Amino acid sequence: MGGPAERVPFVGLTGGLGAGKSTALALAADLGAATLSTDEVVHELLSTQEVRDLLVERLGPDVAPEGAIDRGAVAARVFEHTEDRQWLEGVLWPRVGRRLAEWRTWVEATESPPAVAVVETPLLFEAGMEDFYDFTIAVVADESLRSERAGTRGHQAVGERAGRQLSQEEKSQRATFTIHNDGSRDELKAELARTLSTIGMDSSD
């Protein structure tokens, strides 16, 4: 049996639509970090009977054709009706928080804990989750690049609409670290490696 769980720095990764936060998360994994996406957690939650039943009761059967939640239908509904969006956030975010806490406990209890754990959280500041993390990273990019990247994806994820988000300048001001993603994937990886190394050193002080 191993010794007591090791405290692993818990890092929230955020950024505007098209800034490259999902790419940064994948690169963090390449660099040896434990990684998780809150969007994946939301996917899991929407597939549970508990959350599906709550959504059908509130939003109607059209959001779950053939018994499975249609994320596009949910997004269309909640972004048109503020009260429904707020209700959905009230359903999802506490459950997301519990899932992240469980995951963090699991990461720290593994036989060889990673140097850092990184969670992609698109609405990190908007959801008031900054205190949940030890450090936060905002990925930012030139507006033309962001538009180009976002335009190449049919992006219709719940909670992932530019109009719902703070500007990337606001995210950058509130984050512990800012990473610029205006160059190549290798350049992004190098800057991310420097930031994660700094976090690892800060946490060991």
CATH number of the domain encompassing residue 197: 3.40.50.300
* Cβ atoms within 10 Å, residue 15: 29
What's the number of domains the chain is made of? 1
pLDDT tens string 113-148: 999 999 999 889 988 889 999 999 999 988 777 766
* 4 domain-assigned: no
Higher pLDDT, 48 or 127: 48
Query: Position of tokens 């039943």?
Result: 53
* 1 domain-assigned: no
Q: Report residue 173's pLDDT band, with 50, 70 and 90 as the boundaries.
A: very high
* 104 and 10 Cβ atoms separated by less than 8 Å: yes
Looking at beta carbons, which pairs linking 86-92 to residues 24 or more positions away fall under 8 Å?
87/58, 88/55, 88/158, 89/127, 89/159, 91/51, 91/54, 91/55, 92/42, 92/45, 92/51, 92/158, 92/159
Domain span holding position 67: 10-203
* 21 domain-assigned: yes
Q: Report residue 151's pLDDT band, with 50, 70 and 90 as the boundaries.
A: low
* 71 and 156 Cβ atoms separated by less than 8 Å: yes
Q: Report residue 167's pLDDT band, with 50, 70 and 90 as the boundaries.
A: confident
Max Cα distance, the chain (Å): 54
* 23 and 187 Cβ atoms separated by less than 8 Å: no
* 191 and 180 Cβ atoms separated by less than 8 Å: yes
Positive or negative CA dihedral for 50, 54, 55, 60? positive
What is the overall mean pLDDT for the chain? 86
* 3 domain-assigned: no
Position 149 scores a pLDDT of 63
Quick check: 204 pLDDT over 90? no
What proportion of the chain, given as a percentage, has pLDDT over 90? 61
* 5 domain-assigned: no
Quick check: 2 pLDDT over 50? no
* 192 domain-assigned: yes
Position 162 scores a pLDDT of 43
Position 156 scores a pLDDT of 40
Q: Using CA atoms, how far apart are residues 130 and 70, in angstroms rounded to an integer? A: 29
* 40 domain-assigned: yes
* 114 domain-assigned: yes
Position 150 scores a pLDDT of 66
